[in-house]
């Protein structure tokens, strides 16, 4: 984030603090997923928050098809239930690496920011042998709002560059 030179000292501090808050939100988000605390994942979103995972090709062509499109915290909680209670799959661990956020705009109470991400996957033991692989890369396009003093996602659009999604996508990106 670049802070315009013509801003006053208070405005510059506010922008830098906001940038720090966004980066801390991204770090907490990644930690929850990497530690498989999936029940915490929906809590990063407002009640009517949206989470979308979409291929770059569809995003750039303004095509609506997405690999995952959840339109409320309730839908995210259903996904968590599926992940933890009903979907059977070989176990794996993820590690998210998220770049520093880039402040895009502020429109009223909504802050728009973007950051790049890379998700690595490691299958423990067995035929996977504990080898880590690049699982998914792309960028997050976020709209954030403050609820009772806490910065939360109004929407998170994960636009993935990977043309091939390895196996099936179980966990959120």
**What are the pLDDT digits (tens) for 158-173?**
999 987 776 678 889 9
Per-residue pLDDT averaged across 56-65, rounded? Answer: 95
> By C-alpha distance, which of 50, 45, 85 is closest to 64?
50
Prediction pTM value: 0.90
Query: What percent of the chain is modeled with pLDDT above 70?
Result: 93
Ranges assigned E (strand) in the chain: 45-55, 68-70, 93-98, 102-107, 110-122, 132-147, 150-160
CATH class of the domain comprising 9-160: alpha beta
How large is the average pLDDT for residues 87-97? 86
Q: Summarize pLDDT for 34-45 with one digit per residue, the tens.
A: 999 999 999 999
The tokens of 166 are what?
A: 């390895």
* CA neighbor of 39 nearest in space, from 92, 78, 4: 78
Contacts of 109 (CB under 8 A, 6+ apart): 145, 146
For the chain, the first-to-last Cα distance in angstroms comes to 23
Nearest to 119 by CA among 70, 169, 58, 59: 169
The full set of domain ranges for the chain reads 9-160
Phi, then psi, of 9 in degrees rounded to 5: -60, -40
């Amino acid at each position: 984030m670049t802070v315009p030179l013509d801003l006053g000292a208070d405005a510059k501090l506010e922008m830098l603090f906001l940038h720090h808050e966004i980066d801390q939100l991204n770090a907490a988000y990644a930690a929850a997923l990497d530690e498989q605390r999936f029940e915490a994942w929906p809590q990063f979103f407002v009640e009517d928050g949206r989470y979308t995972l979409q291929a770059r090709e569809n995003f750039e062509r303004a095509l609506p098809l997405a690999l995952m499109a959840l339109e409320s915290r309730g839908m995210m909680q259903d996904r968590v239930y599926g992940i933890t209670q009903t979907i059977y799959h070989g176990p794996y661990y993820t590690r998210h690496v998220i770049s520093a956020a880039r402040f895009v705009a502020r429109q009223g109470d909504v802050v728009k920011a973007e950051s790049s991400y890379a998700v690595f996957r490691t299958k423990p033991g067995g035929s996977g042998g504990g080898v880590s692989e690049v699982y998914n890369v792309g960028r997050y396009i976020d709209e954030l709002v403050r609820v009772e003093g806490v910065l939360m996602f109004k929407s998170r659009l994960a636009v993935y560059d990977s043309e091939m999604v390895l196996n099936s996508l179980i966990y959120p990106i």
